[in-house]
């Protein structure tokens, strides 16, 4: 009961901070997202690199935050076509520079598996910094829509939990038992239904300017890819032999535990919306 109360209170505070920063202007939004990039990279490197390795961790976190900041200014008030090309160029440039820096650092440090450390640092950028930077496609200019995507993701989590508890726990339809034994196909189906219903409500309220079909497709993409994002983070934790990625949110674990679904789902939705924007551009 005490744990449930802790989870509820911290969850309400967490959602309040998210909503306030998303709707509070560029500076609160940037502060929130840079904190998330740095915090999740720190948790990821703690799971993969272990204790110490402060120079490699700091290098990865610095590049991740720099990539996010650069993408924010890139996406600000630009066309979808230039956004798409510019983001690809930015990502390639950041990876190339980081690839030049990290191996040089490792040459002068005595490590048992130096190349594996380089791979882990680069993986963190690819897993966390690149997806959150791509979210700036919406975050730079249309944060209410980004909030709508978060609401659909949160509703998907609630729907999956409720349907999973009601119909999936006693059944044999496990979604991925080797990684997450509690997830079921019933939970996945319930989450999708609730996500579609939430998307419809938000479309009815005028939050999304796309047609109903595209809005439902976005909701479906968020629900399905969110589940896979959750499973990928569970696979990471299982590989590291831990239950939670961190302890920053009481009752919920770390930032990676809270944003695991968003790391995959939001970029997938943004790519779909970017394609829609490109198709609607005048020739």
Measured N-to-C along each axis, helices 143-163 and 185-204 cross at an angle, to the nearest 10 degrees, of 150
Residue 283: per-residue pLDDT: 40
Q: How far apart are CA 186 and CA 172, in angstroms?
A: 10
75 token code pair: 């996406």
Q: How far apart are CA 251 and CA 204, in angstroms?
A: 34
Provide CB contacts within 8 A for 11, sequence distance 6+.
251, 252
Whether residue 1 has pLDDT greater than 60: no
DSSP 245-257: S--SBTTTB-HHH
Whether residue 195 has pLDDT greater than 90: yes
Residue 162: per-residue pLDDT: 86
Residues pairing with 184 in the sheet: 174
Most confident region among 40-44, 95-99, 168-172 by mean pLDDT: 40-44
| DSSP helix/strand/coil, 62 | helix
Which DSSP helix (H) or strand (E) runs through 242?
Answer: none
| DSSP helix/strand/coil, 221 | helix
List pLDDT tens digits, range 49-66: 988 889 899 999 999 999
Please check whether residue 211 is in contact with residue 219, taking contact to mean a CB–CB distance below 8 angstroms: no
Q: How far apart are CA 244 and CA 37, in angstroms?
A: 18
Whether residue 5 has pLDDT greater than 80: no
Please check whether residue 104 is in contact with residue 131, taking contact to mean a CB–CB distance below 8 angstroms: no
CA angle 47-22-248, nearest 5°? 30
Please check whether residue 260 is in contact with residue 43, taking contact to mean a CB–CB distance below 8 angstroms: no
List pLDDT tens digits, range 157-176: 989 888 888 876 666 678 78
Band the pLDDT of 16: cuts 50, 70, 90: very high
Whether residue 155 has pLDDT greater than 70: yes
DSSP 120-159: HHHHHIIIIIHHHHHTHHHHTT-HHHHHHHHHHHHHHHHH
Q: How far apart are CA 11 and CA 6, in angstroms?
A: 8
277 token code pair: 């924007």
Residue 281: per-residue pLDDT: 52
């Amino acid at each position: 009961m005490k744990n449930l109360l802790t989870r509820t209170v911290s969850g309400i505070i967490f959602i309040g901070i998210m909503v306030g920063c998303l709707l509070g202007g560029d500076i609160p939004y940037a502060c929130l997202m840079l904190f998330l990039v740095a915090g999740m990279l720190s948790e990821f490197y703690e799971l993969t690199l272990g204790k110490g390795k402060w120079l490699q961790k700091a290098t990865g976190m610095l590049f991740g935050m720099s990539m996010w900041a650069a993408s924010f200014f890139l996406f600000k008030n630009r066309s979808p076509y230039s956004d798409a090309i510019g983001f690809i160029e930015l990502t390639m440039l950041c990876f190339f520079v980081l690839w030049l820096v990290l191996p040089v650092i490792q040459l002068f440090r005595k490590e048992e598996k130096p190349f594996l450390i380089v791979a882990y640092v680069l993986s963190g950028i690819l897993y966390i910094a690149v997806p959150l930077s791509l979210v700036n496609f919406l975050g730079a200019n249309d944060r209410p829509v980004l909030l709508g995507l978060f609401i659909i993701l949160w509703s998907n989590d609630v729907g999956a939990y409720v349907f999973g508890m009601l119909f999936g726990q006693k059944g044999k339809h496990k979604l991925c038992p080797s990684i997450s034994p509690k997830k079921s196909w019933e939970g996945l189906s319930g989450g999708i239904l609730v996500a579609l219903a939430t998307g419809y409500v938000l479309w009815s309220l005028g939050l999304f300017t796309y047609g109903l079909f595209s809005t439902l497709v976005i909701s479906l993409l968020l629900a399905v890819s969110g589940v896979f994002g959750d499973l990928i983070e569970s696979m990471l934790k299982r590989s590291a032999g831990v239950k939670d990625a961190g302890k920053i949110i009481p009752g919920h674990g770390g930032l990676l535990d809270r944003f695991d679904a968003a790391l995959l789902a939001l970029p997938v939705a943004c790519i779909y919306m970017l394609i829609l924007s490109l198709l609607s551009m005048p020739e």
